[in-house]
Structure 1
């Protein structure tokens, strides 16, 4: 489902914790996660030098950041299962945090890979208990 401009703007303007909640619910719903790629995945750095792997719930949100901060990068999707079983464990092992739902100029929600995995697991279980499917 494509996201219209009004919805895109409304969600981008949400405070970090609400964007994080939107991310978890949307990714559990669609089974797809987005990041940015150009001869390698886009990375950011926290002020202390810790690397951050940015993630978005839809390509449109990733494209906004590509346009403003990662010129030349393009949205690239991967399956939620790949995120949970491969990427998050690897990021945790490498000491890289996740940057959930960056917006231009903001570095808001950066949970550990373990916390993000737990929150996604909880949402997937909740959806299963309510009979919802991705």
Structure 2
């Protein structure tokens, strides 16, 4: 699915609750989510004392998030189906004490 600039810009200004609901619907519809990774590991973000594993319903939102950060980190964007997410990521998140950050914006 190709997102329009209007849809992208509209969603970036929505409340966290709206972005969360939108993400769940879009991820459920497509069966995929997007996350950030480096060459050798998953990437997380820090929100105070909480480490978050950020996920988005579309790559474009992840790219906007990274481009708005001024830290210069390089990262890859990876697509993961829900079965792989359940099999590969959920245990890792539980073991590392990380939470899921759904559709964060800068």
User: TM over 0.5: same fold?
Assistant: yes
Post-superposition CA distance 1:36-82 (Å, at most 9, x none): 1222322111212x321111000000110121226422321111111
Superposition misfits of 4+ residues, deviation over 3 angstroms:
none
Scaled by the length of structure 1, the TM-score of the pair is 0.70
Q: TM-score, normalised by structure 2?
A: 0.87
Query: Unaligned 5+ residue runs, structure 2?
Result: none
Quote the Cα distance in structure 2 between the aligned partners of 1:91 and 1:41: 10
Q: Which has the larger strand fraction?
A: 2
Retained in 2: the 8 A contact 1:36–1:66? no
Relative contact order: is structure 1 or structure 2 higher (C-alpha 8 Å, sep ≥ 6)? Answer: 2
Q: Does 1:96 align with 2:59?
A: no
2:26 aligned with 1:13, yes or no? Answer: no
How far did 1:9 drift?
0.6
Gaps of 5+ in 1: 105-134
1:122 alignment partner in structure 2: none
Deviation at 1:84, TM superposition (A): 2.2
How many pairs were matched up?
Answer: 103
Structure 1 residue 83: deviation in Å? 1.3
Please identify the structure whose Cα radius of gyration is greater: 1
